[in-house]
Amino acid sequence: MRVVVTESAEEFAQRAAGGVVEVVAGRHRAALGLPSGSTPLGLYAGLARRVREGEADLSGATVFAVDELHGVPGDHPATNASYFRERLARRVPLRACHVMDSSAADAAAECERFARLIEAAGGLDLVVLGIGRNGHIAFNEPGSPFDSRCRLVELTPSTREPYAALFGSPEAAPAHGLTLGIADLLEAPRVLLLASGGDKAAAVTQALERPATEALPASVLQRHPALTVVLDEAAASGLSYSSRA
C-alpha cells in the first residue's frame, strides 16, 4: 500500500491524474473503472488539461463507470451517464465510455451485459475509487460480501443524501443502484483510492489501519497487492505516522 498525502487541491488532482495517465501510457487500450461524485472532479479536470496540452493521450482507453443509480431515466442529471458525458467524454477523447443503464427493467441482465463488456475489454487495468462516509466503495454498502459481483443493491440513507437536491428530498432519491461487486474491483491489477475532506477521515483510518471487515467495504483494499491511496490533509488526519509515509 502506498499512501500519498497532498498539501493542496491542485496537488491532489495532479497525483490522481498522474496515476491514470501512467496506466494508459503503459497500455494505450487500457480499460479504466472510474467513479463519480465530487472527489474525482479534480482528476477529470486534470486529465482534460493534460490531453489539451498534449501531455497525455486517452483516445485508446475505454472507461467503465463503477456504479450507477437504478430506476431513473438515463438522461437525468443525477445519473452517472450524465456525469461522465459532461465531465469526461465531452472533454477527453476516449475509445468508449460505458455506463450501466439506470432505466433497465431487468437489473440482473443489465449487470450481466456490463460484466461481459468488461470481459471483452480484457478486464479492468485500473480501478479508481472514492470512499463513502460509511466506508462504501462504488455502491458496495456495509455488509457487502467480499466475493460479490456486479449486481443491484439497496442504497443506504447516507449514500442517497448527496442526491437529495437533484430529486427534491432525501426520500425521493433513488433507493437502489447498480454496482460492480467487490470481487470485480479487486480483480484490477491496480487500484487508486481517492479521499478528501475531514468527513472521510474516520472511514479512511478504519479502512487502512483496522482489520478488513465486510462491515466497512473499503477495508478490503488493504489486501490488494497494488493499492495507491491519494488523500488531502483533512482525510489523512486520523492516520498514524507510518501509514502516511
Whole-number pLDDT of residue 59:
97
Based on its alpha-carbon atoms, the radius of gyration of the chain, rounded to whole angstroms, reads 17
Whole-number pLDDT of residue 242:
65
| Candidates 67, 68, 110, 232; catalytic one | 67
Whole-number pLDDT of residue 89:
93
Residue 134 is a catalytic residue: yes
The span from the CA of 124 to the CA of 126, in Å, is: 6
| Candidates 101, 125, 141, 184; catalytic one | 141
Q: Is the separation of the CB atoms in 236 and 244 below 8 Å? A: yes
Residue 80 is a catalytic residue: no
Domains belonging to the chain, first-starting first, are 2-188+197-223 (3.40.50.1360)
Whole-number pLDDT of residue 244:
67
| Candidates 136, 140, 184, 232; catalytic one | 136
Whole-number pLDDT of residue 158:
93
- Alpha helices, DSSP H only, in 28-122? 41-52, 80-84, 107-120
Beta-sheet strand order (sheet of 176-179):
67-70, 176-179, 151-154
* DSSP structure class, residue 126: E
The span from the CA of 107 to the CA of 174, in Å, is: 14
Q: What is the pTM of this model?
A: 0.96
β-pairing, 176-179 with 67-70?
A: antiparallel
The span from the CA of 47 to the CA of 172, in Å, is: 34
In tens digits, the chain (245 residues) has pLDDT values of 999 999 999 999 999 999 999 999 999 999 999 999 999 999 999 999 999 999 999 999 999 999 999 999 999 999 999 999 999 999 999 999 999 999 999 999 999 999 999 999 999 999 999 999 999 999 999 999 999 999 999 999 999 999 999 999 989 999 999 999 999 999 999 999 999 999 999 999 999 999 999 999 999 999 999 999 999 999 999 999 666 65
The span from the CA of 165 to the CA of 76, in Å, is: 13
Whole-number pLDDT of residue 146:
98
Q: What share of the chain is helix, strand, coil (3-state, %, to 5)?
A: 40, 20, 45
Whole-number pLDDT of residue 57:
97
Residue 75 is a catalytic residue: no
Residue 224 is a catalytic residue: no
72 Cβ neighbours under 8 A, 6+ residues apart: 78, 79, 102, 103, 174
| Candidates 76, 98, 134, 233; catalytic one | 134
SS3 119: helix
241 Cβ neighbours under 8 A, 6+ residues apart: none
Whole-number pLDDT of residue 123:
98
